[in-house]
Structure 1
Amino acid sequence: MNDVRLNPQASTSTARGHERCVLITGATGAIGGALAKRYATPDTHLVLHGRNVEALESITNACQAQGARVTPSSVDLTDDSALGAWLDELCANRVPDVMIACAGKNTHPQGPGELEAWPELQALLDINLTTPIRMTQHLAPAMKARGKGQLVLISSLAGWHGLPTTPGYSASKAGIKAYGEGLRGLLAPYNVGVTVVMPGYVSSPMCDAMPGPKPFEWPPERAARVIQRGIDANRARISFPFPLNFGTWWLAVLPAGISQWLVKRLGFGQ
């Protein structure tokens, strides 16, 4: 789907004063939408991306009501040419100060011992892993040339240790975690920060569809508050909630046999 322009106020590209430009993909999702509302202030230009046009119009209107200038888009993030043209156009007008790559999806095996269907798994890897890396390839050089910027990549606590209930999702989140960690050291000398966000369970339709228990589930507003605070502090990693983060971190450092036994005992086995 091409770039969408919902109204003249939303689509204007003329910068006002010293406003900050914040780009959020997945702005029609739970975390992305909550972050959009937190960043929606009169001194902010929000570039919001979402696949659901009706939901995108709703979040655009809500952010405008809080005083933000909003440019919405539904460009196909998995189309490399369309994505590149969109980001080049944005950077020609104003390089985003902050990019938050929230767009993502999940899939899971449909039965015991069954692998995830390849078309669904490929689509998941495209949006969860490849797209944020593609966006970074376009935006990091522009931020580096300007001498400042913040790239925010959304991983998950599932990135600490693969779960049998969501192996493809776990792999995509482990991959983006490692990429962000490496990128932070690479770009730090150029005043470009990189933050990896590792949420636990955050209330949303996608969370509801995930199999297995969902301990310490947070509302998206609480998650957005913690994420924004960490971004503003240029933290290398933002992970929450603490009890679940502490437990899943141990899964990554314990011997694999013990970790897999624990995963099964905790209700995540097939």
Structure 2
Amino acid sequence: MTAPRSLLITGATGAIGSALARHYALPGVRLVLHGRRRERLEALADECRQAGAEVETSRVELTDDAALTQWLEQLTLPDVIIANAGQNTHAEPGREMEDWSATSQLLTINLRTPMAMAERLAPRMVERGHGQLVFISSLAAWHGLPLTPSYSASKAGIKAYGEALRGWLASRGVGVTVIMPGYVSSPMCESMPGPKPWEIDATRAARRIARGIERNRARVSFPFPLNLGCWSLAVLPAALSQRLLGLMGYGRPS
């Protein structure tokens, strides 16, 4: 696959999103950057323009179906769509379960929104004859982490959706890549409970992601040691996996 000449990145003001924007900010490249934080979004856009890219920005509410549809219908269709916007949540101390309002919001932005984007944009890519959809999952999709059950569920859901959609669209000239990073340094990462082994910086993560997109990889999972460990949890007996997670510090404190 040739290098993309136009990309849409949601969640562009986050660590991975901004690192991807900087990676792709080159002369002749058109970037559509979406983010909620106005000042940070405009500063990133200016930085990318100084690097030679053509940039437009949006702060549309992604969880509003009507607003999302209107925005995407008016959009000049990019080569690559990176549905990167996401959230995390976990149960606060003293609570038996995660806050349901926060969980509902997380499931909307992590799972429903990227699916809605694909539903609206994939047919246009098929009609055009080429394009690539990129979904951001997580190594937590291999086996749910007890400390972040809703987050794990959302990432497992988008992993399954992306893998299925890849098979559905393959013969129509549209690629689908699922990204499964481990711990990437960011405020969201730091707020997550539990150990964070093999944590990497966002710039390194963006390079790994971009290489996978360029090769139209079905799945881009990293770093290798953590990926192997998380994959092993998925194939081991569930009771053993749960015991191992507890021993490694991911079980609920007693």
TM interval, shorter chain, is over 0.9
Is 1:220 matched up with 2:220?
no
* Structure 2 equivalent of residue 24 of structure 1: 9
Is 1:87 matched up with 2:72?
yes
Counterpart of 2:250 in structure 1: which amino acid?
F
Q: Distance in 2 between matches of 1:114 and 1:74?
A: 35
Q: Distance in 2 between matches of 1:205 and 1:60?
A: 21
Q: Distance in 1 between matches of 2:210 and 2:83?
A: 13
SS in 2 for 1:268: coil
* Structure 2 equivalent of residue 123 of structure 1: 105
What pairs with 1:93-242 in structure 2 (closer than 5 Å)?
Answer: 94-111=76-93, 114-242=96-224
SS in 2 for 1:153: strand
Is 1:42 matched up with 2:27?
yes
Query: TM-score by structure 1 length?
Result: 0.91
Aligned partner of 1:243 among 197, 207, 225: 225
Query: TM-score by structure 2 length?
Result: 0.97
Counterpart of 1:34 in structure 2: which amino acid?
A
RMSD over aligned Cα atoms: 0.9
Is 1:69 matched up with 2:51?
no
Counterpart of 2:22 in structure 1: which amino acid?
K
Identity over aligned pairs, percent: 63
Counterpart of 2:193 in structure 1: which amino acid?
P
SS in 1 for 2:216: coil
Q: Distance in 2 between matches of 1:123 and 1:149?
A: 29
CA drift of 1:21 comes to: 1.5
Is 1:257 matched up with 2:239?
yes
Counterpart of 2:130 in structure 1: which amino acid?
K
Q: Deviations over 1:204-246 (max 9, x none)?
A: 0000000000000000000000000110000000000000000
CA drift of 1:114 comes to: 1.5
Q: Deviations over 1:3-29 (max 9, x none)?
A: xxxxxxxxxxxxxxxx82200000000
SS in 1 for 2:248: helix
CA drift of 1:111 comes to: 2.6
Q: Deviations over 1:109-165 (max 9, x none)?
A: 113662111110000001000000000001100000000000000000000001111
Task: Figure out how many residues of one structure are paired with residues of the other and give that number.
Answer: 249
SS in 2 for 1:267: coil
* Structure 2 equivalent of residue 4 of structure 1: none
Q: Distance in 1 between matches of 2:166 and 2:84?
A: 18
Counterpart of 1:188 in structure 2: which amino acid?
A
CA drift of 1:43 comes to: 1.1
Q: Distance in 1 between matches of 2:89 and 2:243?
A: 23
SS in 1 for 2:206: helix
List 4+ stretches of structure 1 deviating above 2 A.
Answer: none
Counterpart of 1:66 in structure 2: which amino acid?
A
Is there any run of 5+ residues in structure 1 with no aligned partner, and where?
A: 1-18
SS in 2 for 1:105: coil
Q: Distance in 2 between matches of 1:47 and 1:113?
A: 40
